Structure 1
Amino acid sequence: MKVSDHACGRARELASVELDEGLSQLEQARLGVHVRRCAACREFRLSIRATTDTLRSAPLEQMERQIVLPHRRRMALRPLQVGVAAMIVVATGFGAFVPLHARLHRPLAPAVGGSNQGDLRVLRDVRLQQIKPRPVGLAGGIQ
């Protein structure tokens, strides 16, 4: 079989995983069937097993220099984060209170001196003019 064959590629992956004892029974069976038929994959399986055994049985090397990882300055940002969060809470509370407070002191309707129908009609017409949609001008401010 060719090494580029999909079945050979999959068998070589399984042979690598087998070294770490991570194969299921089905994967072990597939690998066994394939290496019985394919000499190249059988040789690959034996060679990686020998290489892995050699590396694992070798003594650990001591490093000549000590590796020191930089210390994180995570705590320095904590007060800043708390301060920003507190400001957001205060601004939100203030923003929610001010419009409500302003509405409470504003009269809802103009005071009417009498129940004269003519005065009420004028007030209604003024209010209708206030809420009437206004046309949007053209670009450049020309209307």
Structure 2
Amino acid sequence: MKVSDHACGRARELASVELDEGLSQLEQARLGVHVRRCAACREFRLSIRATTDTLRSAPLEQMERQIVLPHRRRMALRPLQVGVAAMVVVATGFGAFIPLHARLHRPVAPAVGGSNQGDLRVLRDVRLQQIKPRPVGLAGGIQ
């Protein structure tokens, strides 16, 4: 019975995970069934177990010299960064305010046409009607 390459790849992946993290019961059962049927995967599992055990049992190497990373001086740039950021904010604010200011303070366009005396009379009459005092009714119904 020939086992597919996909099944072998999955079994080898499970064998590797088994050494580092452990497997769930389902994964452990799947791996066990596969390695009983597939000699190549069984040999792979034994080989990586032996290699892992050898590496884990070896003593840790001691460093001959201590490794020290130089401390970077980033604080010198901090005031410059803050100044540039403030300038960008101010420039953006002015850039947004100038078009708005121009739109709000546009000059009124002159009237188009010949004489506008008739229009002025109509506007004056409308204004006079709006401000003309009106009688106010009293509580007794007398006006």
The normalised TM-score by structure 1 is 0.64
The structural deviation recorded for 1:87 is 0.8
Question: 8 Å contact 1:2–1:8 — kept in the other structure?
Answer: no
Q: Which runs of 5+ in 1 are unaligned?
A: none
Cα gap change, 1:111/1:19 in structure 2, threshold over 3 Å: closer, same or farther? same
Question: 8 Å contact 2:35–2:42 — kept in the other structure?
Answer: yes
> Could you say which structure has the larger radius of gyration?
2
The structural deviation recorded for 1:49 is 1.0
133-142 or 21-30: bigger deviation: 133-142
The CA deviation string for residues 72-127 of structure 1, in whole angstroms up to 9 with x for no partner, is 44434433332222112211222233344445554212389995369999999999
39-48 or 108-117: bigger deviation: 108-117
Cα gap change, 1:82/1:107 in structure 2, threshold over 3 Å: closer, same or farther? same
Cα gap change, 1:77/1:28 in structure 2, threshold over 3 Å: closer, same or farther? farther
94-103 or 25-34: bigger deviation: 94-103
Q: Which runs of 5+ in 2 are unaligned?
A: none
Give the aligned length.
Answer: 143
The CA deviation string for residues 16-47 of structure 1, in whole angstroms up to 9 with x for no partner, is 11001242222111111011111221122112
The normalised TM-score by structure 2 is 0.64
Instruction: State the match for 1:126 in structure 2.
Output: 126
Question: 8 Å contact 1:3–1:9 — kept in the other structure?
Answer: no
